[in-house]
Homo-oligomer: A and B are copies of this chain.
Amino acid sequence: MTRVFVTGAAGFIGSNVVDRLLSEGLEVVGWDNFSTGRREFLAGALARPGGRFRLVEGDNLDLPALTRAMTGCDFVFHLAANADVRFGTEHPKKDLEQNTVATFHVLEAMRATGARRLAFSSTGSIYGEASVIPTPEDAPFPVQTSLYGASKLAGEGLISAYAEGFGFEGFIFRFVSILGERYTHGHVFDFFRQLREHPERLCILGDGSQRKSYLHVDDCLDAMLHAIRLGSAAPRKVHIYNLGTAEYCRVTDSVGWICAHLGLKPKFEFTGGDRGWIGDNPFIFLDTARIVATGWKPKLGIREGVVRTLDWLGQNPGCLDRS
């Protein structure tokens, strides 16, 4: 890993990856179509002396431009995605194009340019409603319940097939929900925005009993870089890791932490039912024994991740207005 191409470079996780790679002395080419990415997330990277960061604006659906931008890179972090799991049924084409076809284009660009190693942000959503919880990487063959999960599963399948067929090395990371600095969507975001607008009441999707897992973005980055560095020593073509903490929380737990941290006592309004939306998974908890066995462990628990996210949102209220 010397010159790294990062798709979704202006996004939440992507911009954190860019900063981390630059701080480790690597050269980075950032690629983003700015559909949801934010230029200010790359302000630090662009301001760094030494010229090790280059930003190219472009879309993953434009394969020739993607190929040109990637030329000369030897490792790809493919993080660009439609990361919205909740509204998939409103625009099914978005997941197909921005996740499945986009991943195909990234692989084709790699094939054309000679880059052979990539890391991919997959998701615990691909386990659907898992029959085994905590869910390990080799859980029983899942049935998809969301267009988002299906599109990420398709991306994983493509990466594995390219690894077998074209000698690629793939690192597939199945994330729980990621929290932290530059977080731009998700329940902490929704709740924080609501409470800013009307501190006296909070609308909660479902009945609040949904059990979910979260990981702080710093821990997520540590885990990915740790696994990638190990990977080269292992003879496998595809390395698949769940990334999360060894705990989960209920939506009501998180609501309690958020209200306590903000010093608010809103009235709760539940929309009802055991799911927040169609395809919502009422219990996500991944078995992270595989990555833990390699020597990584998270530094922050879910509560600390939620609190740090709240603090960042409080310091960056502009992000609330533009989402």
Binding site for B on A (CB under 8 A): 88-89, 92-93, 96, 100-101, 104, 107-108, 111, 128, 131, 137-147, 149-151, 153-154, 156-158, 160-162, 164-166, 238, 240, 278-279
Bound complex: CA A88 to CA B153 (Å): 19
Residue of B nearest to A142 (CB): B141
Copies of the chain in the assembly: 2
A160 to chain B, nearest CB (A): 4
- Cβ–Cβ contact A165 & B141, under 8 A: no
Bound complex: CA A166 to CA B147 (Å): 11
- Cβ–Cβ contact B139 & A157, under 8 A: no
When A157-B153, A238-B143 are in contact, do A278 and B88 touch as well, CB less than 8 Å? no
Interface pairs A-B: 9 shortest CB-CB = A150-B157, A154-B154, A144-B160, A138-B140, A150-B161, A89-B165, A144-B157, A145-B164, A153-B157
Q: Which residue, A138, A157, A279, has most C-beta atoms of chain B within 10 A? A: A157
- Cβ–Cβ contact A160 & B145, under 8 A: yes
Residue of B nearest to A165 (CB): B89
Bound complex: CA A142 to CA B108 (Å): 23
> What does DSSP make chain A's interface, helix, strand, loop or mixed?
helix
Note all chain B residues with C-beta closer than 8 A to A160. Answer: 128, 143-145, 150
Note all chain B residues with C-beta closer than 8 A to A278. Answer: 164-165
Q: Can you offer 28 A-B residue contacts whose CB atoms are under 8 A?
A: A88-B165, A89-B166, A92-B104, A92-B108, A92-B111, A92-B165, A93-B108, A96-B101, A96-B158, A100-B100, A128-B160, A138-B140, A138-B141, A139-B140, A141-B141, A144-B158, A144-B161, A145-B161, A145-B164, A147-B162, A150-B157, A150-B160, A150-B161, A153-B154, A154-B154, A164-B279, A165-B278, A165-B279
Note all chain B residues with C-beta closer than 8 A to A143. Answer: 160, 238, 240
Bound complex: CA A166 to CA B88 (Å): 11
Bound complex: CA A151 to CA B100 (Å): 10
When A96-B101, A153-B153, A153-B157 are in contact, do A165 and B146 touch as well, CB less than 8 Å? yes
A84 to chain B, nearest CB (A): 14
A153 to chain B, nearest CB (A): 5
Note all chain B residues with C-beta closer than 8 A to A111. Answer: 92
Note all chain B residues with C-beta closer than 8 A to A144. Answer: 156-158, 160-161, 164
Note all chain B residues with C-beta closer than 8 A to A88. Answer: 161, 165
A127 to chain B, nearest CB (A): 8
When A104-B92, A139-B140, A166-B89 are in contact, do A157 and B161 touch as well, CB less than 8 Å? no
